């Protein structure tokens, strides 16, 4: 039985799958958005709505703000859409500009407040439903973060808060200073990115020391009703039609297994790949990154399927490339 999303327990009627909007707006440059970009956005939204998706995931950096600008134009064209969907965005990354040596992470209060004002301006809306802090900032002052989030909530600019790419310890530190609960943790999880499973089954075994996924993160999120979201859940099409040239044997074998199970179930490989995540009892919410209407439509069966224990383990063991102890 597919699990109820923790978001529902907080009276947020989110769909089991969200659409990630990083692919909107063209290239990651400073060129303006075009009519073609807006057309692509409408088509992606329509495809998502047609399979029951009502949650859309953004970030202030996606295509340097152009993804949100495209969505802002969609809202202008279809103002009735706003109250029927859930908008999530992220802040906390400063993209590298000419003369810089790297992107940097910034959880300063001023950056968070300015970022949200930019998000709202580009989207052309008065509030966002959920704001995520994008990647952990080593220089973070949790009291400063808490003050910024309090201002955003009090001003009605953000209704709920969450994080992305954070461990249980990092969430606990922030939560100790913030009155508002963090209700989302968005992590890199997929049938190709399986360290989150390996971390659990390798406790008290030698391989555990080489696993980088932070111990206890999934368990903390489940205990605290924090929605676990998966970015990159389709593994960039590795198991659903992308060329497998030069891919390792475990990926090739897993792709073949996905195709076989899809045929047996009368569905698409995309739905099987997502169902592998969604069958997990943590009620993981995939955030699919494609804006191709055909690939979005191919995900339609994912929230209707539940893999058997054998299917789930067969896929996991195939992807990891070695048997369980």
- Counting Cα atoms < 13 Å in the Cβ hemisphere of 34 gives 7
Residue 180 in contact with residue 163, Cβ under 8 Å? no
Distance between CA atoms of residues 318 and 187, nearest Å: 22
CATH of the domain at 29: 3.20.20.100
The rounded percent of the chain whose pLDDT value lies above 70 is 97
Give the list of residues 6+ apart from residue 228 with CB closer than 8 angstroms, or none.
Answer: 185, 187, 189, 218, 221, 222, 282, 283, 284, 285
In a domain, 235, yes or no: yes
| Residue 78: C-alpha distances to residues 68, 89, 105, 126, 316 (Å) | 15, 20, 34, 16, 42
- Counting Cα atoms < 13 Å in the Cβ hemisphere of 325 gives 9
Residue 211 DSSP class: -
pLDDT at 183: 98
In a domain, 319, yes or no: no
Q: Which has the closest alpha carbon to 32: 124, 128, 122?
A: 122
In a domain, 278, yes or no: yes
**209-254 pLDDT, tens digit each:** 666 788 899 999 999 999 999 999 999 999 999 999 999 999 999 9
**23-48 pLDDT, tens digit each:** 999 999 999 999 999 999 999 999 99
Which residues does residue 231 pair with via DSSP β-bridges, in sequence order?
188, 287
**281-325 pLDDT, tens digit each:** 999 999 999 999 999 999 999 999 999 999 999 999 999 999 998
Give residue for tokens 């279809």: 78
pLDDT at 204: 65
The alpha-helical segments, DSSP class H, found in 22-96 are 35-50, 66-77
Domain residue limits at 232 = 6-243+269-304
Orientation of helix 66-77 relative to helix 35-50, angle to 10°: 70
Q: How confident is the model at residue 127 (pLDDT cuts 50, 70, 90)?
A: very high
Assess whether pLDDT exceeds 90 at residue 207.
no
Assess whether pLDDT exceeds 90 at residue 129.
yes
Two tokens, residue 146: 């808490």
Distance of CA 142 to the CA centre of its chain: 23
Q: Which has the closest alpha carbon to 275: 319, 233, 236, 246?
A: 233
pLDDT at 259: 98
**70-80 pLDDT, tens digit each:** 999 999 999 99
pLDDT at 98: 86
Residue 270 in contact with residue 234, Cβ under 8 Å? yes
In a domain, 261, yes or no: no
In a domain, 57, yes or no: yes
Distance between CA atoms of residues 162 and 288, nearest Å: 18
Q: How confident is the model at residue 201 (pLDDT cuts 50, 70, 90)?
A: confident
Two tokens, residue 193: 């990115």
Number of domains in the chain: 1
In a domain, 262, yes or no: no
In a domain, 248, yes or no: no
Residues annotated catalytic, as ranges: 62
In a domain, 36, yes or no: yes
């Amino acid at each position: 039985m597919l699990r109820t999303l923790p978001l529902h327990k907080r009276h947020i009627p989110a769909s089991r799958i969200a659409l990630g909007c990083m692919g909107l707006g063209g290239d990651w440059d400073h060129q303006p958005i075009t009519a073609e970009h807006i057309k692509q956005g409408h088509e992606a939204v329509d495809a998502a709505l047609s399979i029951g998706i009502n949650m859309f995931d953004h970030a202030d950096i996606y295509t340097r703000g152009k993804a949100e600008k495209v969505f802002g134009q969609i809202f202008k064209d279809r103002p009735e859409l706003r109250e029927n969907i859930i908008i999530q965005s992220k802040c906390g990354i400063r993209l590298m500009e000419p003369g810089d040596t790297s992107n940097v992470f910034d959880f300063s209060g001023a950056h968070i407040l300015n970022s949200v004002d930019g998000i709202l301006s580009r989207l052309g809306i008065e509030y966002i439903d959920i704001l995520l802090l994008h990647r952990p900032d080593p220089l973070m002052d949790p009291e400063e973060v808490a003050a910024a989030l309090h201002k955003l909530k009090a001003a009605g600019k953000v209704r709920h808060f969450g994080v992305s790419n954070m461990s249980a310890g990092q969430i606990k530190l922030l939560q100790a200073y913030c009155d508002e609960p963090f209700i989302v943790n968005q992590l890199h999880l997929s049938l190709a990115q399986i360290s989150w499973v390996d971390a659990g089954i390798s406790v008290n075994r030698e391989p555990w020391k080489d696993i980088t996924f932070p111990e206890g993160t999934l368990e903390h999120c489940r205990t605290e009703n924090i929605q676990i979201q998966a970015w990159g859940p389709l593994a960039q099409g590795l198991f659903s039609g992308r060329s497998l040239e030069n891919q390792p044997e475990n990926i090739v074998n897993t792709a073949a297994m996905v195709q076989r199970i899809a045929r047996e179930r009368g569905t698409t490989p995309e739905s099987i790949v997502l169902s592998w995540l969604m069958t997990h009892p943590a009620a993981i919410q995939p955030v699919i990154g494609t804006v191709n209407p055909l690939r979005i439509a191919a995900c339609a069966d994912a929230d209707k399927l539940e893999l058997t224990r054998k299917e789930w383990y067969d896929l996991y063991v195939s992807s990891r490339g070695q048997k369980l102890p």
